[in-house]
């Protein structure tokens, strides 16, 4: 297609054999510098481009990666994709991106289709079951994002720390009753976060966290969650992610409930849109692009284990304070504290 020019053409022009051309182009130190230069010039002159199919056929490697995400329009995955993309490219890999549209069946299909033509696969929070996942990744170097599975490499963020920082922030502002609007019940991250809440509570005496349910982790889910959050009487709400938090913000505004005066809102991720709204969203930033780059690094380590580039187990996060949080309306002035009994109320069990 692109270039009908082959190694043989280059070889002829450079007066060497095809194999020498091949060597000059890959294992460059196996050929005499002069010859090598001559070959390079010839290749340049002819506009030679190696045929990936032929190369792949014999080496068994494609220099391609595959990435499967549930929804490219979700800014979370857009950022991760961007991270994967950039890093892969810098390492000489092109990447297939596939959008499963949040659907398990197409997810499986995509993995099948891609697995055969990549050196490694990055699966971003796939919906499929552990068994399907284990089954389908068999024989392909795979890295999971935001999900752990024995035997499979994975990249996650520090969910416990996310919750700790979010809750710590609200606690410091004086909030003592916080609603948690959770993500999908099947979500691995959501599980981690709910667990993190319980851990965090031991350090935050007097804090009560009310779990108001599981929601689809998008704008609409947040809108539904908002009313429930209000109904609990909480002075602040922590959402499973920014998209939900944005939905909460929107619904609250629609009801005339002022943020942060009447209700503080905290998101998770620090998606771009978090700064597009007003009040700008206070959130715990997850290093989304870095998640992507780390996944690529892990993949490369899996393929070429020589010089592994180490990554932390769970990527660090950071609270970003913006305008959607403040001291609660009912706050006790800092000077004369101690109103609610210390360590009195603790988290209610999830219903």
Q: Which residues bind DNA (CB under 7 A)?
A: 4, 6-8, 15-23, 25-27, 30-32, 34-36, 48, 50-51, 54-55, 57-59
**In the complex, what is the shortest distance from the CB of residue 12 to DNA, in angstroms, rounded to a whole number?**
11
**In the complex, what is the shortest distance from the CB of residue 32 to its own copies, in angstroms, rounded to a whole number?**
28
Neighbours of 273 (CB within 10 A): 16
Interface with its own copies by CB under 8 A: which range of 62-70, 147-155, 171-179, 195-203?
62-70
Nearer to DNA, 57 or 185 (CB): 57
Half-sphere exposure of 257 (CA within 13 A, CB side): 22
**In the complex, what is the shortest distance from the CB of residue 276 to DNA, in angstroms, rounded to a whole number?**
47
**In the complex, what is the shortest distance from the CB of residue 35 to DNA, in angstroms, rounded to a whole number?**
3
Is residue 189 exposed (0-12), middle (13-18) or buried (19+ Cβ within 10 Å)?
buried
Q: Which of residues 41-60 bind its own copies (CB under 8 A)?
A: 49-57, 60
Closest CA to 64 of 25, 27, 108, 114: 114
Q: Which of residues 200-229 bind its own copies (CB under 8 A)?
A: 219
Interface with its own copies by CB under 8 A: which range of 176-184, 195-203, 250-258, 306-314?
250-258
How far is the CA of 117 from the CAs of 133, 154, 157, 237, 260, in angstroms? 18, 21, 29, 45, 50
Nearer to DNA, 15 or 343 (CB): 15
**In the complex, what is the shortest distance from the CB of residue 324 to its own copies, in angstroms, rounded to a whole number?**
13
**In the complex, what is the shortest distance from the CB of residue 64 to DNA, in angstroms, rounded to a whole number?**
15
* Residue 330 makes contact with its own copies by CB under 8 A: no
Neighbours of 36 (CB within 10 A): 20
Hey, which residues does 283 pair with through a beta bridge?
267, 320
Taking residues 81 to 120 in sequence order and writing x for each that binds its own copies by CB under 8 A, - otherwise, the string is xx--xx--x----xxxxxx-x----x---x-xxxxxx-x-
- Residue 198 touches which member of DNA, its own copies, none, C-beta under 5-8 Å by kind: none
Closest CA to 174 of 345, 339, 344: 339
Rounded CA-CA distance 245/251 in Å is 10
Rounded CA-CA distance 251/241 in Å is 16
Nearer to its own copies, 57 or 185 (CB): 57
Neighbours of 338 (CB within 10 A): 8
List of E strands, the chain: 64-69, 94-99, 120-124, 142-145, 153-157, 177-182, 208-214, 236-239, 264-269, 282-285, 314-315, 318-320
Number of residues that bind its own copies (CB under 8 A): 57
Nearer to DNA, 116 or 278 (CB): 116
- Beta strand 177-182 pairing with 120-124: unpaired
Sign of CA dihedral 82, 85, 89, 90: positive
- Residue 91 touches which member of its own copies, DNA, none, C-beta under 5-8 Å by kind: none
Displacement of CA 91 from its chain's centroid (Å):
20
**In the complex, what is the shortest distance from the CB of residue 81 to its own copies, in angstroms, rounded to a whole number?**
5
Record the tokens describing residue 151, joined without a space.
């035997």
Chain residues in the site for its own copies (CB under 8 A): 1-3, 49-57, 60-62, 64, 66, 71-73, 75, 78-79, 81-82, 85-86, 89, 94-99, 101, 106, 110, 112-117, 119, 139-140, 219, 246, 250, 253-254, 272-273, 275-278
């Amino acid at each position: 297609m692109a270039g009908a020019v082959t190694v043989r053409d280059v070889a002829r022009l450079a007066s060497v054999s095809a194999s020498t051309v091949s060597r000059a182009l890959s294992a460059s130190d196996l050929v005499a510098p002069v010859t090598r230069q001559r070959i390079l010039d010839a290749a340049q002159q002819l506009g030679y481009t190696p045929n990936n199919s032929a190369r792949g056929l014999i080496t068994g490697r494609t220099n391609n990666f595959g990435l499967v995400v549930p929804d490219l329009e979700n800014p979370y995955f857009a950022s991760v994709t961007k991270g994967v993309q950039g890093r892969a490219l810098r390492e000489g890999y092109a990447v297939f991106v596939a959008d499963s549209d949040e659907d398990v069946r197409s997810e499986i299909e995509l993995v099948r289709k891609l697995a055969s033509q990549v050196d490694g696969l990055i699966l971003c929070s796939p919906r499929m079951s552990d068994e399907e996942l284990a089954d389908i990744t068999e024989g392909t170097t795979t890295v999971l994002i935001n999900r752990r599975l024995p035997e499979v490499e994975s990249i996650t963020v520090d969910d416990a720390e996310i919750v700790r920082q979010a809750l710590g922030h609200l606690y410091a502002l004086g909030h003592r009753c916080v609603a948690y609007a959770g993500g999908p019940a099947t979500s691995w991250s959501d599980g981690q976060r709910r667990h993190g809440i319980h851990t965090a509570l031991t350090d935050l005496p007097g804090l009560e966290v009310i779990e108001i349910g599981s929601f689809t982790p998008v704008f609409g889910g947040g809108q539904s969650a908002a009313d429930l959050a209000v109904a609990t009487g909480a002075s602040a709400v922590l959402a499973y992610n920014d998209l939900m938090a944005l939905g909460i913000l929107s619904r609250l505004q629609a009801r005339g409930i002022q943020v942060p005066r009447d209700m503080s809102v905290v998101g998770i991720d620090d998606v771009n849109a978090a700064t597009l709204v007003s009040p700008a969203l206070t959130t715990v930033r997850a290093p989304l692009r870095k998640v992507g780059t780390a996944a690529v690094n892990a993949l490369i380590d899996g393929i070429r284990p020589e010089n592994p580039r180490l990554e932390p187990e769970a990527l660090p996060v950071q609270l970003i304070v913006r305008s959607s949080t403040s001291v609660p309306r009912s706050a006790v002035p800092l000077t004369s504290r101690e109103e609610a009994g210390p360590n009195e109320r603790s988290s209610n069990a999830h219903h």
